[in-house]
Structure 1
Amino acid sequence: MNQAERLNRAMIREIEKLGDIGPWRDALLSVPRHLFIPDVAYVSPDDGDSYIIDKKADPGEWLRSAYLDVAIITQINDGAKPITEAGEDGVRFTSSASAPSTVVAFLSLLGASKGHNVLEIGTGTGWTTALLSAVVGDRNITSIEIDEEIGNQAALHLVSAGYAPHLVIGDGAEGFSEKAPFDRIHITCGVDEIPSRWIDQTKVGGILVAPYRRELVSVVVPESGECTVKRYGRARFMMLRSQR
């Protein structure tokens, strides 16, 4: 077992202290997080000091940080500033690798399983896309990313991990009608309003999971009438660009 595998297993043990993670345990084992972390990034723990990681300057720290249960910022100011300036005043975080325990909480609520047709809004680094691919099958995953540079990097990350889901560069607020209806829609960016297209593109009985008004929510789409919404506590995510 190499160092990355040891760190990954230690990370999984920490996540499992929060509860059973079902099929996502095997997915975490098979999808190394470090394959999806840029060479230079900004570690942003909820408690403690934030810091830059640089694979070339300190590969050991970079690898250890990749397996901490913390968010890692991968872009600031929509790419207008280098990530090395992430700690400066006036900086806005615009893309990240979410904390692993948060990712697993979302995926557990999503309840996606083998063969489901799944839409993901916000590819980001591609790590969550790969986890979904491991459980559902990459042929059944469509993931949309609005930022072309981030989307292109995610595609490379996914290839390195052995997955080939359908990746789209576009506005996730529009959904993806070409492959609708979806059994599950996984939203990785914050929203204050859930776009009607997401509901329209979800099968009856299908589920959306989203950071809605800074809370983690699941939405079940009925045959008629109002959707069933359940709330699961605080969730801070970068906003859908059209709702900033």
Structure 2
Amino acid sequence: MKRASDRIPLALAILSVTVSIGMAAPMDVSTARKALRNVPVAELPAQAAALLGRASGEDLAVSAANILSASHAIRPAATVAVVGALARQAPVAAPVVAARAVTLQRKPSAEFVDQVAAAAAAAAPQQAAAIVEALCKAVPQHYTVVALAAATAAPQAKDQILAAVTRALPGLQPFVDQARSRLGAEAPLATVLQQANVLLTATATAARTKPEILMAGGNSGGLGSPVPPPTFGPPFTPLPPGEVTEITRSTTRVAKPGEGRDYSTP
């Protein structure tokens, strides 16, 4: 029979494992809110980053998103600054943090989305493409704002940013391709996106659907496949080949009664 003293090391080992598991869990919103609720607004970004620095590495993105939610509940005006601080502290978490920021508002404005994208990409430029992809999925209607803000903060990632936009919104790919073929490979990102948006809007109008549906790779109105971008040709249909002659009585066949189409009398 084992004495009580023999069971002490086993109990300590179990306690150690339990504590380790508890510390490894991602930080929840409630815990983060308690830690940040008395922090002055000017110190909130730095304190949020410090709090993330004590979180588990395996679930860093989850912890970062929860810390952002907590700080937003305490000081909404500091949200953009906290996004930048968290992205700088843990660049790998930047895409998740940016996406969480824009979903904390029911209808985020283009200005707010622009600020979030710029803050995240500037703090973690190596994650610029991933940030753009995450934000385009979260707020597809603001894809142009997202891409341009990220490209301004991380200009070396222009091509990766454009690819990230079409990964998030696969239905936009044919419009981007056609825009680039017209404008050239060296065209500025803003010009390419503007032209692609013009083509997208024209196609959506012709198909009587919403641009968001086409961007997602779908369609409406019973269309069998996504509508291709419109093509532009001459304003008039050319005449068929052959010599154009004047129409006269001698070259016109007069239909006799009973011949031709049987139209009913009015």
Structure exhibiting the larger radius of gyration computed from Cα positions: 2
Greater RCO, 1 or 2 (C-alpha within 8 Å, sep 6+): 1
User: Which of the five TM-score ranges fits, normalised by the shorter chain?
Assistant: under 0.3
Name the structure where strand makes up a greater proportion of residues. Answer: 1
